[in-house]
Amino acid sequence: MSEREDESRRASVALRAATTGADVAAASFRTDLEVERKDAKTDVVTQVDRNAQTRVIEVINEAYPSEPIVGEEADALKRVPETGSAWIVDPIDGTNNYVNGSRAFGTAVAAVYDGEPVAAATVCPALGDTYRVGPDGAFRNDEPLSVSDCSDSEAATVCPTFWWDFDHREEYAAATRAIVERFGDMRRFGCAQLELAMVAAGALEGTMTNLRTNPWDTVAGVQLVREAGGTVTDLEGNPWRHDSTGLIASNGAVHDDLSAATREIDRPT
């Protein structure tokens, strides 16, 4: 099997697994859910998250039974292997939205090799959107994705992503201030994979955080942005990896301004 054929097969499995997990989530959306809390008051989990992850893993294991799986919930690894093939799963990204009845959530699955993504899918069932990326490019509902061509930061829309807990609220405030002082407008959706997909689709010019993110929240979306023509770096301007500190994803044209805004978060006032 050629490298392209292998990546194409992995892209197909990622899509099938993400669709299966999204179907589990959709079946219980806007029903009476029993909600548990993790570390923070807004960091919630449900049995549906666990059920969705179980089904996603089952689909992956059917095709690749010996490959490690990294996932958000308890029955998966938490670190991406540095070598070889692996899978990264978020059964419901945006669980807080999910339990509150907001449509901004999705199931994300990425295939990686030596820590770098080679294929991925993010399925947002309540929005009716399926994002996928593989050797043939990046797509939403089978339409090719392309980042925005906006190069004027004052006309651009940017989203602060990930989550600043209450002991880091000064950083949250700094992030929003840095955005509104440079860019035309700001959004926040509470679902990092969807926010990255929106950058890839041209609905946002960029998204950013100064924090180290979880791979299940980001890897699939990062690959979408890159394949759609965008730029994704860490705080130092290096190509982003799953273990990077900071994530700056943009259409490329406003990346310098977005990087400057992100670096301001940690700057003493």
Does the annotation flag 234 for ligand binding? Answer: no
Distance separating alpha carbons of residues 136 and 45, to the nearest angstrom: 35
Pairing of strands 247-250, 206-209: antiparallel
Element (H, E) at 140: strand 137-140
Is 72 annotated in a binding site? The answer is yes
SS (H, E, C) 59-77: HHHHHCCCCCEEECCCCCE
3-class SS of residue 2 = coil
Which residues contact residue 27 at a Cβ distance below 8 angstroms, ignoring those fewer than 6 apart?
none
Q: Is 217 assigned to a binding site? A: yes
CB 46 within 8 A of CB 27: no
Contact 130, 124 (CB under 8 A): yes
What is the SS3 assignment for 12?
helix
43 assigned binding-site residue: no
Answer yes or no: is 90 a known binding residue: yes
Nearest-angstrom CA–CA distance, 81 and 70: 9
Contacts of 114 (CB under 8 A, 6+ apart): 82, 83, 84
The residues near 31 (Cβ < 8 Å, ≥ 6 apart) are none
Residues 6+ positions from 97 with CB-CB distance below 8 Å: 103, 104, 105, 189, 190, 191
Contacts (Cβ under 8 Å, ≥6 apart) of 216: 70, 71, 72, 88, 89, 90, 93, 108
Residues in the annotated binding site: 72, 90, 92-93, 217
Residues in the annotated binding site for Mg(2+): 72, 90, 92-93, 217
